[in-house]
Amino acid sequence: MPTPVFTWTPDFTWRPQYRRRVNITTFESGKEQRSDLGAAPREWVLTFTGSAAKLAEIEEFWNARKGPVESFLWTPPEATSAITVRFKDDTLKSTRSGMKYGTVELTLREIL
């Protein structure tokens, strides 16, 4: 079975989050030694605004992946190639403005 691809384009604003994994050892003297354990997976907080039909497609994709269980391919904004990601949370935030429009907010997490 081919890897699913997330194809929806988020609103213009997105919030990438970059972190480093750091090991901190504290000595009795109070001094600290820090060592880099490498990059943590990147995360993107994305918002999608659109018709109820578009938001329903995103929600169906989320349900088909069982929320954060299954990974899929996604091309980050301004990137040239797809990466493997999964939904970070087991909750999808959806808001409706009447029957025709609304927003969905979700976080994607890179699989290293």
- DSSP result, 23-45: EEEE-TTS-EEEEEEEEPPPEEE
Across the chain, what does the average pLDDT equal? 90
pLDDT for the residue 77: 82
Q: Measuring CA to CA, how many Å separate 37 from each of 20, 21, 23, 24?
A: 7, 5, 7, 10
For residue 89, what are its two tokens? 């949370």
Q: What is the pTM of this model?
A: 0.77
Q: Given CA atoms 50, 56, 62, 67 in this order, what sign does their dihedral have?
A: positive
Q: What is the pLDDT of residues 67-88, one digit of tens each?
A: 999 999 999 888 899 999 999 9
Question: What is the pLDDT, as a whole number, of residue 39?
Answer: 78
Report the percentage of the chain scoring pLDDT > 70.
98
